[in-house]
Structure 1
Amino acid sequence: MKDVAAAAAAERVARESYGRLVARLAWQWRDLAAAEDALAEAFAAALRHWPEQGVPEAPEAWLAAAAQRRLLHHARHTRLTQDPRVTALLDDAELEAPEREAVPDARLQLMFVCAHPAIAANVHAPLMLQAVLGLDAKVIASAFLVSPTAMAQRLVRGKARIRDAGLRFEAPEARELPARLAAVLEAIYAAYTLGRHTLDSPADDLREEALFLARLTTQLLPGQAEAWGLLALLLHAEARRGAQFDAAGRFVPLQAQDPAGWRGDLIQEAESALWTAAGLRQPGPFQIEAAIQSAHAQRRATGQTPWRAIAQLYAVLVEHHANLGARVGQAVALAEAGEADAALALLDALPPEAARYAPFWVARAHVLGLIGGPGRQAALQRAIGLTDDPRLRDFLVAQLP
């Protein structure tokens, strides 16, 4: 039983603390790969020692100290221990549990570091999700619609670039932040989305972390409209979280949700953020997506969803910032606005990678159901096969004839 308890404690600390510890170690030692390796060895040591010695009172501090010792050992072999900046890292104060209030700011700084222009742009957001938020390549891959192998290779290449170029983990200057902001916002949005589609309790933490980082970003860069747009988007999504499942735990699609179950305080905060963004006159995709969610929120007051307006907003989004999710959303909005044939044509025109995207098949089944054409059952079966969330899968299975 002690072994089981120790393993459970290590797993819990890994979920809750990995990102903070990596951010702290990478920032101190200016070496992301070394920080990850050292932390991996620290977790391995925990699994060896905790079953015999018991779980320490401050497990996060224990892991930080073990990782620090590993990094110092490596430093000795590379003749770095003569540098007082290195030896100072093992001051007793550094081995104490980190202050929780100060860590998120350091993590946001590390996210901006991961957006360094010398690193390939398609690595920026995935690297933040792995190095700062502690997600693995398989989970990250699902957010970017690529295979786990491709994502793992992308991350390895990105870290090799950091190492080979000798990039130091220095905080970017204030003038550099706006150019790196888009990648940071993409990572925060991906983190919330991944949390939304995951069942276990850490998912809630991930969504809360994403919301915290979104709010923090608006404080850091209050003159950047897209930061406010992302915050508005996440707040609208969070406002409806409690209505996504009924009392029996069954999934409830947006159109079937009772708006009375949506949180008015979060909707109000979202609308305020969206107005702030609009006042800055810097249009961008997150603001358009937030406007779409704002239109959905109107049903709370009017009882009606303005599908025609939503379809028009999606058209603007697709025109300037086309991606697979936006194009699928546009098709669904058109179908709900009474143009199911046009919606099906949009879905038919999507690129081959849409076949790996579960929402595409859900949308296709819905549109075919409205038209009454063949293929609805096959589309549902494809959607079911691509859906990981068992609650959503059960909902889709129930739609089969």
Structure 2
Amino acid sequence: MVGGRTRSTEVAQAASVEAVVVATARNSYGRLVALLAARDGDLAASEDALSEAFAAALQTWPRRGIPTNPDAWLLTTARNRLINTHRHEAVKLRGMDEILRRMDAPSATAAPIPDQRLSLLFVCAHPAIQEDMRTPLMLQTILGLDAAQIASAFLVSPTTMGQRLVRAKAKIKAAGIGFKIPDLDALPGRLDEVLSAIYAAFGTSFDAVAGSDDHNISLADEAIFLARLVVSLLPQEPEAFGLLALMLYVDARKGARWGPEGEFVPLKNQDAKLWERAKIIEAEGLLARASKLNRLGRFQIEAAIQSIHIQAPITGATNWAALRSFHELLLTHRPSIGAFVSYAAVLQAMGQGRAALEVLFSLNTADVSTYQPYWVTLAAAHRGCQEAAAAAIAMERAIGLTENTKVRAFLLGEREGG
């Protein structure tokens, strides 16, 4: 019995340690990498060292106990790994003890960007880094998304995205690109990639069920926090206001997105009384401020689209003509697979199923083969054109591509009802 109790205690301790390690990784990974890379200048080595520190924590903490400051323990351990690996560069790390001492204290000198994670996002938008890899690099290194999540956002396979990220980091190391925090006057030129990364991270929360402890939910809050920082840093950049407004519009509806039993509730069926009014009012104000700066961009257009959806319960009808105009405007500013599919969805909702099919069929088959919204929209468009067989095939494909069990259950119900 004593041995049994001891074994049970060990299992419980291990589970507790694992929970702390996972929570620390979710909440502090980007900040820790930022501290390491800012001193060492080597992003790949900093990531490797931090990964080894997390592995060491899983081995050490069950025996010695969870440290009072897990972040400081991990940072010290990772720093030591870097020193052991690059002993001849140890001089670069001499300031780390001072960083550790000040981790929980106000900085003596004001940094140009008052958040380590946001700072490193701008670092990863360095002009010398391959343009199409800047946002994926931010998502993995700073915001903690894995290759599969990033690949989904960019409509490529996880293997392909993983290989691209490895190659990008190798090029960064070979080119000796220094991870120096940029000055404020350099930020506008790097803003687009940073905003795209923040929004892509926010997008992972769409399938997170309310009331769960899913990391995606906290990542949505983190994305909104980072967008607020960008707005405060760059008050003359309308796209920063547009992104924050867009995310607030979407986030305001999260309480209505899932029913009492966790079932998925589409926008048209949501109870508007469950929407968060304060966030909607703030978003409206942000969008108005952006419009006064007279530089229209993607995020402002997308926020305006969300604003129209928000107004529907108030007016009693959706302004489909305005939605069509804004989607067409979006396609002129930032054409993308998602923008074309959304445009087709609007055409279908307006009773123009044949026009919707034309838009969908104009897209490259390889680009949409695993894009679930495409198949949902295609099924609806076929159904609107009274093409039941084609609609059924498209819906089957959509269901097969749906990972969220609640959304899949909704689509199964749609298939049976259709």
Which TM-score band (shorter chain)?
over 0.9
Report the CA distance between 1:175 and its aligned residue. 2.7
Name the structure 1 match of 2:4. none
Which of 256, 263, 273 is equivalent to 2:286?
Answer: 273
Report the CA distance between 1:355 and its aligned residue. 2.0
Provide the rounded CA distance (Å) in 2 between the counterparts of 1:389 and 1:346.
27
Name the structure 2 match of 1:247. 260
Provide the rounded CA distance (Å) in 1 between the counterparts of 2:44 and 2:201.
21
Which of 23, 28, 42 is equivalent to 1:12?
Answer: 23
Q: Does 1:109 align with 2:119?
A: yes
Name the structure 1 match of 2:298. 285
Name the structure 1 match of 2:69. 58
| AA partner of residue 377 (structure 2) | A
1:149-200 per-residue CA deviation (whole Å, 9 max, x = no partner) reads 1111111121112111111111223332111110001000100001223455
Name the structure 2 match of 1:366. 380
Name the structure 1 match of 2:8. none
Provide the rounded CA distance (Å) in 1 between the counterparts of 2:75 and 2:333.
45
The answer as to whether partners of 1:61 and 1:96 remain within 8 angstroms in 2 is: no
The answer as to whether partners of 1:260 and 1:300 remain within 8 angstroms in 2 is: no
Name the structure 1 match of 2:152. 142
Name the structure 2 match of 1:321. 334
Name the structure 2 match of 1:400. 415
Report the CA distance between 1:239 and its aligned residue. 0.9
| AA partner of residue 94 (structure 1) | L
Provide the rounded CA distance (Å) in 1 between the counterparts of 2:278 and 2:245.
12
Deviates more, 1:106-115 or 1:10-19: 10-19
Which of 118, 127, 131 is equivalent to 1:121?
Answer: 131
Q: 1:196 to 1:97 in 2, by over 3 A?
A: farther
Report the CA distance between 1:277 and its aligned residue. 1.0
Name the structure 2 match of 1:382. 397
Deviates more, 1:96-105 or 1:380-389: 96-105
| AA partner of residue 146 (structure 2) | D
Q: Does 1:205 align with 2:218?
A: yes
Name the structure 2 match of 1:354. 368
1:197-230 per-residue CA deviation (whole Å, 9 max, x = no partner) reads 3455211110001001111111111111111111
Deviates more, 1:67-76 or 1:264-273: 67-76
The answer as to whether partners of 2:351 and 2:384 remain within 8 angstroms in 1 is: no
Provide the rounded CA distance (Å) in 1 between the counterparts of 2:203 and 2:72.
30
Q: 1:20 to 1:168 in 2, by over 3 A?
A: same
1:344-377 per-residue CA deviation (whole Å, 9 max, x = no partner) reads 2211222111121000011111222222213112
1:307-351 per-residue CA deviation (whole Å, 9 max, x = no partner) reads 121011101111332101111111111111221221122112221
The answer as to whether partners of 1:141 and 1:151 remain within 8 angstroms in 2 is: yes
Q: Does 1:258 align with 2:258?
A: no
Provide the rounded CA distance (Å) in 2 between the counterparts of 1:268 and 1:239.
10
Name the structure 2 match of 1:391. 406
Partner SS for 1:123: helix
Q: 1:173 to 1:56 in 2, by over 3 A?
A: closer
Report the CA distance between 1:72 and its aligned residue. 2.1
Provide the rounded CA distance (Å) in 2 between the counterparts of 1:260 and 1:179.
40
Provide the rounded CA distance (Å) in 1 between the counterparts of 2:106 and 2:399.
40
Which of 304, 311, 317 is equivalent to 1:304?
Answer: 317
Name the structure 2 match of 1:219. 232
Provide the rounded CA distance (Å) in 2 between the counterparts of 1:269 and 1:283.
19
Q: Does 1:167 align with 2:167?
A: no
Which of 193, 196, 200 is equivalent to 1:190?
Answer: 200
Report the CA distance between 1:142 and its aligned residue. 1.0
The answer as to whether partners of 2:353 and 2:384 remain within 8 angstroms in 1 is: yes
Partner SS for 2:369: helix
| AA partner of residue 385 (structure 1) | G
RMSD: 1.9
Provide the rounded CA distance (Å) in 1 between the counterparts of 2:95 and 2:332.
54
The answer as to whether partners of 1:15 and 1:134 remain within 8 angstroms in 2 is: yes
The answer as to whether partners of 2:79 and 2:93 remain within 8 angstroms in 1 is: no
1:219-245 per-residue CA deviation (whole Å, 9 max, x = no partner) reads 111111111111111111011111101
| AA partner of residue 331 (structure 2) | V
Report the CA distance between 1:99 and its aligned residue. 5.7
Find runs of 4+ consecutive structure 1 residues off by over 3 angstroms: 95-104
The answer as to whether partners of 2:327 and 2:343 remain within 8 angstroms in 1 is: yes
| AA partner of residue 272 (structure 1) | G
Provide the rounded CA distance (Å) in 2 between the counterparts of 1:29 and 1:38.
11
Partner SS for 2:258: coil
Unaligned runs of 5+ in 1: none
Report the CA distance between 1:104 and its aligned residue. 6.5
Q: Does 1:34 align with 2:41?
A: no
Report the CA distance between 1:12 and its aligned residue. 2.1
1:239-266 per-residue CA deviation (whole Å, 9 max, x = no partner) reads 1111101111100111111222211111
Q: Does 1:80 align with 2:89?
A: yes
The answer as to whether partners of 1:311 and 1:337 remain within 8 angstroms in 2 is: no
The answer as to whether partners of 1:23 and 1:131 remain within 8 angstroms in 2 is: no
Name the structure 1 match of 2:351. 338
The answer as to whether partners of 1:65 and 1:95 remain within 8 angstroms in 2 is: no
| AA partner of residue 80 (structure 1) | E
| AA partner of residue 268 (structure 2) | Q
Name the structure 2 match of 1:235. 248
Aligned length: 396
Report the CA distance between 1:88 and its aligned residue. 2.6
Name the structure 1 match of 2:6. none
